[in-house]
Structure 1
Amino acid sequence: GEELYAAYRERMIVGKCNCGGNLIMINSPKGGSFVGCTSYPDCKSTYSMPRGATVLKTKCEECGLPMISFGKPRQRACMDPKCGREGEEPPQNEVVGVCPDCGKDLIKRRGRYGDFVGCSGFPRCRYTRSLEEKQEQKSEKT
């Protein structure tokens, strides 16, 4: 029993606290989650987590705490909201042409099976093409 609990707590560690303890992810029964220090009650450091947030392996350059990814579209920010480091927007999609179905921009996107070209009018326009097909068409024109 104790070994299983220790292994579970080990898996929940997301980083080091400024006091020297470990930061662990704690899921509350109400459905939310937060990160707290294992040195509690000596250290009262806690960080609330937005719904659906994941803790990343990268560290904040300002304070050294782990970064989190959250929201739609996904944003990255420091776990500590008081840190001052603003969230980073994910890279913007590259426009590679015009949709033959609706005339809107075709955007390079990343999906489950790799990179592809899709219409910016999604979900109304569902035009997609694999990136290889798009590159083959460019080489045929030249």
Structure 2
Amino acid sequence: MEEELDEIEEGRLNFVDALKEFHKQFAKDLKAATANMENIKKMEEPTDRTCEKCGKPMVIKWGRYGRFIACSGYPECKNTQEIATVVNGSSGNGQKAGAAGGVAISAEAPAIPEDHGTCEKCGSPMVLRKGRFGPFIACSAYPKCRNTKKIAMDKEGKITITKKPDRILDEKCPQCGKPLAVKDGRFGEFTACSNYPECRYIKLKEVGLDCPRDKCGGRIVERRSRRGRVFFGCSNYPKCDFVTWYRPIAERCPSCGNPYVLEKVTKRDGTTRFCDHEGCDFKKAVNS
């Protein structure tokens, strides 16, 4: 699909034809999935546990982020629990998982230790939580304290903290004056104010190029979309709407004199640089 998108961009493939071809295969796969694929979200595994809220049996269900325990009285009762919190027999109300429930729960889920330490920011216990990107450890005092840690979990259930601690810098935050810090985020390291969440300043990475728009005065910086894809825009956004998916290089175009060229990396063609100035067809391969 990536190669087809490149061909569309370069004018070698009509986007309507590409969409038709994609939809033809997608419709075929969707029809086969509708007829043959088992709906795991409707599957329920019985346990010998009872709901502490209404007394009905608890069952194991499948959700968007994997298996979890829920009350069979749903939607009248919406009680749910993460499997990780009951693997070792603790149900939150003093019950123990018996043979049927214990086997069903522990057959695939690793044993999770209850002690995850204390929050270094406020002293509250750290607890295991599950988010849209998988399990993580967070402060139990949320939302007053938003301290979180990325983790890795092996087959035996051993948890390893993978999030690096903040590294305080000598540089001051231009908004509140507190020190800046290098933080470890979902997409890697970034520099932001150490006074988060009171101050939400994030220092964006510059690419060493002034914004090409007339009288803008901004700098080109690296940003990320909500899905994590890197793109480049003006530091004066939203006053300036300059944006590109490809990295601007401070190299004057040899064909038209444009003050920058763009760099694109694909599996098929490797690294190429080209000019996006209207009417200019400059393009060259870059040796890696």
User: What TM-score does the superposition give when structure 2 sets the normalisation length?
Assistant: 0.26
Q: TM-score, normalised by structure 1?
A: 0.44
Q: Whose Rg is larger?
A: 2
